[in-house]
Structure formats: C-alpha cells, structure tokens
Amino acid sequence: MIGEYTASAALLDALQDLGVEYIFANFGSDHPAIVEAIAAARAAGRPFPQIVTCPNEMVGMSAAHGFAAATGRAQAVLVHVECGTQALAGAVHNAAKGRIPMFIFAGASPLTQEGELKGSRNEFIQWIQDVHDQRGIVRGYMRYEGEVRVAAAMKQLVARAFQFARSDPKGPVYLIGAREIMEAPAPAARLIPEQWKPISPGALSPDNAAELAAALATAKAPLVVTSFLGRNPQAVHALVQLCDKLGIGLLESVPNYVNFPHNNPLYQGNQWNEPKQNAALAEADVVLVMDSDIPWIPTSSAPNANAAIYHIDVDPLKLQMPLWYIAARGRFAADARIALAQLNAELQSLPLDNALIERRQARWSELHNLRKARLAEKERPGATLTSEYVTATLRRRVTPETLIVNEGISNYQPIIDHLALTEPGMMFTSGGGSLGWHGGAAIGAKLAHPGKTVIAVTGDGSYMFSVPSSVHWMARRYNTPFLTVIYNNGGWKSPRLSTLAVHPDGFASRAPDLDMSFHPQADYAGIAAAAGGAYPRIVEDVADLDKALDECFHAVQAEGRCAVLDVRLPLP
C-alpha cells in the first residue's frame, strides 16, 4: 500500500531535490511522521538523503559543519523539539560564527490534545515540551528561522531556508513543524532547484576597484590581512596572483582556513592572542583587510597610525557583532575571489614601478626568511615533547590528500606554523569558540572526502568537550576512520593564560592550583577504543613519537579504523 504524501514526505523530497546528501538525525516523539516517511521511501525505493544516526546532537551538527567546510555543500540536521535544539549546544555558535551553511529541522509539540487531528498528543512528554518560543532558543544565531504552519508550504519554506543558508554571509537556518502539520497531506509537486539559487556573490564597483588597485600599486609596503578567505581555494589562487605581481605581504590573523601558501616568500605568519605588536602590521603603509573578523587586537597590535586601511568582506558590517570597528578608509561588501579577479584585471592597465615592487618583494622575503629560521629552531627535538616538535613530526606525514580539522586552542599557532601548509583546502578550524567541535567535524570531513586521510588535532579539554563516546561510535558505524592527535597539556591552559594576561602578579599567578587541571587524567584514547574500536596510543617520550605516529597511520589507513594519539606534553 502506498501511504499518504505528507508534509514529512515533502520535507524529504525537498531535501533530496535541493541536493542534500546527509541528514544527521536524532529522533524523538515529534518525528513519527518523518520516521514513517523515511520507511515508506525506503520501502518504495525512492531516493532520499542518507540518514546518519547521531547519539548526540552537538556531534551531529558538528559533522554537518565539517562536511560543509570541506565541500561548501549544506547538509541537514534533524533534532527533537526544544530539548534536542538545546542539545545542539555550542555547535550552533560555531556554525553561525564560522558562516557554515546547513539546514536544521526540529519537530514541535502537538498543537491539539484531544485527538482532533492525526498526531495529536498521546504522550506525557508533549505537555512538558510545549514551550512559548522554541525558535527563540537559536534565533540570535540563525540566518533564517521559521515554522511550517501549513503542510502545503513545506517545500517552499525548506527551499527558502536553503537560499538564506547558501547566500553570503552563509550560515545555519532553522525550521520547526508540529506533529499534526508533519502528518498532514501535502501537494506532491516537485521543487525546481534552479528557481531557488542563492544570491550571486558580490563584486566591487569599477571605481572602487580602480582606487584599490592604485593604492596597492603605489604603496611602499602593502599588506593583506585575512582570516577566512581560504574557504574558497580559488580565492587563494587569485590572492597569490595579486601578491606576487605587486610584492604585497600577507599576514593571517586568527586564520581558520589555509589562506596563503606558507612557503611563499611574501607570507608573514599568523597572529593570534600574543600580546605584542606584529612587525608586518607596523611596517605596512597600505593594509587591505579581506574576509576577517579580527584582523588585529588593537590593545596589543595595530596597523601603523598613518596606514591607509581598506576592508573587503562578505559582511563588512559584521551584522551579528554588537561592537565592531576598524579605522578603514573604505569598506566594500564583495566576494573575495571576484574582488581579487577585478584587482588583477585592473593591474593590466596600470603602469607599475618595477623597482618599487622588487624592493617590497625583497623586504617581505627578508622578514619571511627570519621567521622561517625561528620556526626551524623551535621544532628541533629537545628533552621533552613540545607542540612544535609534535607538529613538525606530523607534518612529515602530510600529503596533498590530508585534511586537517584543527581545534588546537592554546596550540593553534604552533600547529598552523609547523604544519606550514601550502595548499588551500587542507585545513580548517571551527571559526567559532565553542569547544568540542573537532570529533564531529572530522566525521563530516571524512564523509565528504572518503579518499582523504582526515586528522583531528585537539587540546585535551576540547577532546573531553567533543563527546568522544558518540564520535567514535559514529565513526565506526559510518566507516569514517580518522586520526585524533591530542595536544595533552593536562587540562585547560587557555583560561589560565587569560587570567595571567589580566592579573600577571595577582594571587592566581602564585596559586598552585587554578581548578583547571585534569589530574588524575582519563584514558582519553581508551574512551575511543571502548566506544568505536579505535586504536589507542599514548606517547610520553620524544623518542617514541615517530613509531607511535606510524602505528596510528597504519590503523587509520591500512586497518580502516580510528586512532587516538594522546601526546603528553609537559604540564604547565
């Protein structure tokens, strides 16, 4: 028997028509119509996105995040009413801040209680889960949020939500539907995805492009500062072309993608929380900020007071940040790749001063080489394991087929410095600050690129935040083996650093314990072994690291199972 075509069947078809490959799902009493529609589609052999069972919602949403960051393709997340929405937890923040497109659907408690409609209340929990403003839980983070109030509108609402998710500034979207609506009959008319395309990326006006090109061409020491331009590898190629042509230096600030090849002599490093003036930023007389939320932290590092600053961004107003300001001479909403192509085109008709360009190139490469020598010094093996040495040892196993998911926290900088990646697309971070993202993200990245070797690098605290039991159960169930390297410094180093930065000589600076240590330590790798058969390995000695890494790579690449390498760094 063929069942009725319900709003839930329409939801599945809409997702399928819009090209969604996975639904990261956690089911509940709000979902009978959806579960029935999935079973009906399966029985009839109708195509629908693959369901990935997620024992924890935050892990599921982080998997959708990892998939989208690795491919640009938005996936779906299905959760249970208001409490499943709350269990998405910090993954909501990460996707919103990281501009990661995805579609989240939650059921809602039934609207009737006496059996008036199919789906009416029949379980005690439906009174308890009836809240005034379910959508309000995530409203501050969604690009679009709404409710399916009538079954007939399901497909249009889903397509509209996707339009927001996929248009810059991209991000998560949220739709809810009550049980009776999800059971109600819906029209079976198909969506025409071509009619629901996202907004085309924006360009500079011709005047602005000419002004910027002239400013960069005539500067003494021009510098580009970026954080997330590398989300589009093509933008990186256009950026390299511009910088090479003009001798522009490149500084990454809080990078969450590979934005520039680290071996290019124009590369000037990456700046994070370190409380010191950045030399390149001090030297530059024209600073072009492109795709960055935090181009510098003015209390510690700022551009030269006389520098001309320009800002090109998908969202130069930073619509979701109450306080945001840089002293820019011009700000332009444009897509980085398109703006760079425009600037590169402008250069063809500009007279260029080759001697000036050569002087800039020589100066930036001089600074580049000094940095390179400093880094080489730091990664030499010593008596104890260091993040620099660990990362350099890992780097020797990195190939173009490696994909790195980075939640290194206080070790973000040594990890990025010593991986020294040269190809865009090889690494990303969450783009947000809610910890516990890497495990789910690694699963999503591996689903997206089954042929790649996925490596998650993480702090020990972030590992504990990541719900490793769920992560490793999912990784085995869905055959997404990846390597986790834990930069284990015995607990939470960052809040300690935050305290000392404000109270360098206070009680805390002398206190033997700041309640941030994880002593006695858990068997981190053992958790993954128990939950998903991961290969567990602890390394404490410098001499043991190479062998341990070989074993872990063998487990992932030859045996097809996860490996967790717990690297015990010296305690602070």
Nearest approach, Cβ of 149 to ligand TPP (angstroms)? 34
Nearest approach, Cβ of 310 to ligand TPP (angstroms)? 32
CA nearest neighbour of 440 among 485, 462, 411, 470: 470
- Cβ(440)–Cβ(62) under 8 Å? yes
- Position 385 contacts ligand TPP (CB under 6 A): no
- Position 570 contacts ligand TPP (CB under 6 A): no
Q: Per-residue x/- mask for ligand TPP, residues 141 to 160, rule CB under 6 A?
A: --------------------
Q: Which of 166, 170, 179, 493 binds ligand TPP (CB under 6 A)?
A: 493
Q: Give 62 or 268: the residue with its C-beta nearer to ligand TPP.
A: 62
Residue 130 amino acid letter:
D
- Position 409 contacts ligand TPP (CB under 6 A): yes
- Position 459 contacts ligand TPP (CB under 6 A): yes
Residues 86-115 that bind ligand TPP (CB under 6 A): 90
Nearest approach, Cβ of 258 to ligand TPP (angstroms)? 21
The DSSP output letter for 570 is P
Sequence-ordered list of residues with C-beta below 8 angstroms from that of 6, at least 6 positions apart, any chain: 33, 36, 37, 151, 182, 183, 184, 185, 186
Q: Give 304 or 521: the residue with its C-beta nearer to ligand TPP.
A: 521
- Position 434 contacts ligand TPP (CB under 6 A): yes
Q: Give 328 or 457: the residue with its C-beta nearer to Mg ion.
A: 457
Span near Mg ion by CB under 5 A; candidates 55-63, 70-78, 130-138, 482-490: 482-490
Q: Which of 266, 494, 538, 562 binds ligand TPP (CB under 6 A)?
A: 494
3-state secondary structure of 95: helix
Q: Return the ∠ at Cα 433 (arms to 429 and 437), rounded to 5°.
A: 55
Q: Give 34 or 96: the residue with its C-beta nearer to ligand TPP.
A: 96
Q: How many helices, marked H, and strands, marked E, lie in the chain?
A: 22, 18
- Position 386 contacts ligand TPP (CB under 6 A): no
- Cβ(30)–Cβ(81) under 8 Å? yes
Span near Mg ion by CB under 5 A; candidates 168-176, 317-325, 365-373, 455-463: 455-463
Binding residue count for Mg ion, defined by CB under 5 A: 4
Q: Which of 98, 110, 459, 481 binds Mg ion (CB under 5 A)?
A: 459
Exposure b/e, 382-420, CB count within 10 A at least 16 = b: eeebbbbbbbbbbeebbeeebbbbbbbbbbbbbbbbbbb
- Position 435 contacts ligand TPP (CB under 6 A): yes
Q: Give 162 or 389: the residue with its C-beta nearer to ligand TPP.
A: 389
Q: Per-residue x/- mask for ligand TPP, residues 246 to 275, rule CB under 6 A?
A: ------------------------------
Span near ligand TPP by CB under 6 A; candidates 154-162, 342-350, 351-359, 454-462: 454-462
CA distance 347 to 213: 7
Q: Give 232 or 494: the residue with its C-beta nearer to ligand TPP.
A: 494
Q: Which of 29, 85, 453, 489 binds ligand TPP (CB under 6 A)?
A: 489
Q: Return the ∠ at Cα 304 (arms to 302 and 307), rounded to 5°.
A: 120
Q: Give 273 or 344: the residue with its C-beta nearer to ligand TPP.
A: 273
Partner that binds at residue 391, options ligand TPP, Mg ion, none, CB closer than 5 to 8 Å by kind: none
Q: Return the ∠ at Cα 49 (arms to 183 and 232), rounded to 5°.
A: 125
- Position 440 contacts ligand TPP (CB under 6 A): no
Q: Which of 144, 492, 524, 535 binds ligand TPP (CB under 6 A)?
A: 492
**C-alpha dihedral (369, 374, 376, 381), degrees to nearest 10:** 180
Q: Give 291 or 460: the residue with its C-beta nearer to Mg ion.
A: 460
- Position 460 contacts ligand TPP (CB under 6 A): yes
Sequence-ordered list of residues with C-beta below 8 angstroms from that of 350, at least 6 positions apart, any chain: 213, 214, 217
Q: Which of 40, 453, 489, 563 binds Mg ion (CB under 5 A)?
A: 489
Q: Give 439 or 461: the residue with its C-beta nearer to Mg ion.
A: 461
- Position 461 contacts Mg ion (CB under 5 A): yes
Sequence-ordered list of residues with C-beta below 8 angstroms from that of 1, at least 6 positions apart, any chain: none
CA nearest neighbour of 222 among 335, 294, 340, 304: 304
β-strand partners of 222: 286
Nearest approach, Cβ of 435 to ligand TPP (angstroms)? 4
Sequence-ordered list of residues with C-beta below 8 angstroms from that of 543, at least 6 positions apart, any chain: none
Half-sphere exposure of 337 (CA within 13 A, CB side): 10
3-state secondary structure of 564: strand
Q: Which of 185, 233, 265, 495 binds ligand TPP (CB under 6 A)?
A: 495
CA nearest neighbour of 126 among 184, 179, 86: 179
Residues in the chain: 572
Token output for 556: 């992932």
- Position 460 contacts Mg ion (CB under 5 A): yes
- Position 410 contacts ligand TPP (CB under 6 A): yes
Token output for 290: 């492109």
Nearest approach, Cβ of 457 to ligand TPP (angstroms)? 10
Nearest approach, Cβ of 112 to Mg ion (angstroms)? 50
- Cβ(402)–Cβ(455) under 8 Å? yes
Q: Which of 167, 402, 462, 466 binds ligand TPP (CB under 6 A)?
A: 462
- Position 444 contacts ligand TPP (CB under 6 A): no
Q: Which helix (H) or strand (E) covers residue 444, if one does?
A: helix 438-448
Span near Mg ion by CB under 5 A; candidates 270-278, 420-428, 452-460, 556-564: 452-460
CA distance 347 to 245: 9
Q: Give 478 or 518: the residue with its C-beta nearer to Mg ion.
A: 518
Q: Is the peptide bond before 169 cis (omega within 30 degrees of 0)?
A: yes
Specify the residue for token string 């992932």.
556
Chain residues that interact with Mg ion, rule: CB under 5 A = 459-461, 489
